[in-house]
Amino acid sequence: MITLAILDTSTLGEDMDLGFFQQLGEIRLYSATPPHLVEERIEDCDVVILNKVRLDETNLPAARRLKLICVTATGYDNIDTAYCKAHGIGVCNVQGYSTHSVAQLTLAMVLSLSCHLPQYHQYTVSGQYTQSGRHNCLTPVFHELYGKTWGVLGYGAIGRQVGRTAEAMGCRVLACKRQKTPEAECVSLEELCRESDILTIHTPLTPETKGMIGRQELEWMKPSVILVNGARGAVWDEEAVADAVERGTVGGLGCDVYSAEPMAQDHPFQRIAPLPNVCLTPHMAWGAYEARVRCMEEVAENIRAFYKGELRNRVEG
């Protein structure tokens, strides 16, 4: 019988029913796996399922029976794929499951930052609206998205869905990606930064994209720009972004991802978290209920395909 272990079920949501994995073999569930317990928990497993736990040359040698690693995400930078390839360990990710969830959260952040919804909500529920004697309140000033330029950095499945959403709001959409596509008006990174009223980031983390939004790129941007990162925290220079927000050279900031998660006490964004033009969330954009169900179903299909000798969502090497 196949032995499977899920190393960090808490990252999948407490509402997920993982019992269907029992159809595939003996399943071991761990809410979280700290680094010092990884070797012990993978040493006699055939399949390891994980989200954020790191597997590399420091712990993988302990996994004598390991044949397959399944990542419950699209990104797999926490897996040493070179080691896996050299030792015949398959690696599978899941693609496309969170496209609508991330696009929805991206739009929600942009709308909240552009319309100042938290401030208007607080004005209303605090009693200020009732006490004002006025029919309405129009400060802080907000603007329509219609007619604005929305830049999309990274134009994969999520970026395209965000682009379609932006077009539906009446925005001109610019895209920046490695290979130009006729689907979008593709521009250089500099032009994207200079032209965008809204700029949302959806590129995967690679050696080429790490830190690609730094001080120079932030200087190119309009001081009114709404900047949202739903990709990976290391895609931008977090200290530089925090500095730009403090200086007032970024109009609104939304972020769901951080270079180290959870966000540390000394993270630069802790300084700007209280500001009204900042919206920070705990890496939840991917996790609408429907997206998580879709993800788990895809993981199960990856395992079935592997044991049939099929190549499905393989990423190693």
Q: Which residues are catalytic?
A: 232, 261, 283
What's the CA dihedral at 15, 37, 54, 235 to 10 degrees? 70
C-alpha closest to that of 224 among 203, 202, 201, 195: 195
Give the pairing of strands 226-229 and 252-255: parallel
C-alpha closest to that of 15 among 287, 262, 286, 282: 287
Give the three-class secondary structure for 295: helix
Run of H or E including 28: strand 26-29
**Pair 282, 8: CB distance under 8 Å:** no
Run of H or E including 254: strand 252-255
DSSP codes joined into one string, 118-180:
HHHHHHHHTTHHHHH--S----S----STT-EEEEES-SHHHHHHHHHHHHTT-EEEEE-SS-
Nearest-angstrom CA–CA distance, 168 and 308 = 43
Run of H or E including 280: strand 278-280
Run of H or E including 111: helix 99-115
